[in-house]
Amino acid sequence: MAIQSRKNQYIGVNAHLNSLLQNETAGWPIFHNAHVVDLTRAVDRALPPGYVVVPERSLQIREFHPDTGEPIERRRRKLPKPDISIYQRPNPNAQAVSSPAAVATPTLTIEHLDAFDDPEIYLTAITIHEIDENRKIGNPITWIELLSPTNKPFGSGYLQYQQKRIATTKAGIVLVEVDYLHQSPPVEEAIPSYMDGETDAYAYHIAITDLREQSKQPQLQVYGFSVDAAMPILNIPLAGDDAFRLDCSSVYNQTYESISFYSSEVDYEQLPVRFETYSEADQARIKARMQAVQESHQHGANLEDGPFVI
């Protein structure tokens, strides 16, 4: 009998669901759109005065049409808007958000990097914009992308996405890339590839590229995290020294637990799809998590009280 729970039984990304989404044609775009909505709401609550967040057309393109499911023919298009935008609003009493002690530290820092229209074919992204003195939305300040398989190396939209991410960072926009896709290499070659078994690679990571001239040290900061490990609490840069705090685990769990379809696809009695794509250490973590869920279930524990201590 299947063991299922509406509550995410993993600490962080649910390896069972994430593997399934990467191996079903229509799986990832559905999760992508739902998660971007939750990210947008979380960003909106966390922004200091003077900024506004806007869900917009992504840098990334779909591989299949959202209505017909047919492969989308590639053709020239204008530069799209991002997943999420943040704008700034003038406020003389506003103060920048300081970095609390709980904010994560990067697992990898890379110094300055040199390279870095049919709306239905684009996924949704997030941009953060300034609000000018006339209370009008200004140019994007920070750009947040939830990466999709199509736009990573070996995907049909990879080259197009690379061109647009380079143009974005060179324009002085902070780029935040959320990568839950362990079955494909990172979009930035300098980041160790988990798929290829490289040293110091993580199954998941969030990369913040800040190449602004006003940055004290333009760089790419990578926050890697393993299977069944807490996701980072980040300080996301805005204009100048402003920043806001984002609790990534909280947003992920909001998405996972908000729609019963996700939990209904997860059976803790069965190994994740393509279990072999995980490292030996992460395979051990998955098995330990499954055992903890199974034993709790056998002893009559309410799985909604999980995740349980291993």
10-residue mean pLDDT series, the chain (310 residues):
95 97 83 92 95 74 42 43 60 49 82 47 73 83 91 85 86 95 95 96 97 77 97 95 96 95 94 98 98 97 94
Q: Which residues pair with 206 in a beta bridge?
A: 178, 223
SS3 265: coil
pLDDT at position 193 is 97
pLDDT at position 158 is 87
Whole-number Å distance between alpha carbons of 246 and 229: 17
AA letter at 42 = A
Sketch the domain layout of the chain as residue ranges. 28-258
Whole-number Å distance between alpha carbons of 223 and 232: 7
Q: At what angle do helices 15-22 and 280-298 cross, to 10 degrees?
A: 120
AA letter at 278 = Y
Q: Which residues pair with 149 in a beta bridge?
A: none
pLDDT at position 89 is 60
* Nearest to 129, CA basis, from 89, 96, 91, 100: 89
Q: Please give the model's pTM, rounded to 2 decimal places.
A: 0.82
pLDDT at position 63 is 46
Q: Which residues pair with 84 in a beta bridge?
A: 55, 126
Q: Are 9 and 268 in contact (CB under 8 A)?
A: yes
pLDDT at position 123 is 52
Q: Are 267 and 4 in contact (CB under 8 A)?
A: yes
Q: Are 57 and 124 in contact (CB under 8 A)?
A: yes
The backbone torsions φ and ψ at residue 112, rounded to the nearest 5 degrees and listed phi first, read -40, 130
pLDDT at position 25 is 67
The backbone torsions φ and ψ at residue 55, rounded to the nearest 5 degrees and listed phi first, read -75, 130
The backbone torsions φ and ψ at residue 141, rounded to the nearest 5 degrees and listed phi first, read -105, -45
pLDDT at position 111 is 72
Q: Are 181 and 147 in contact (CB under 8 A)?
A: yes
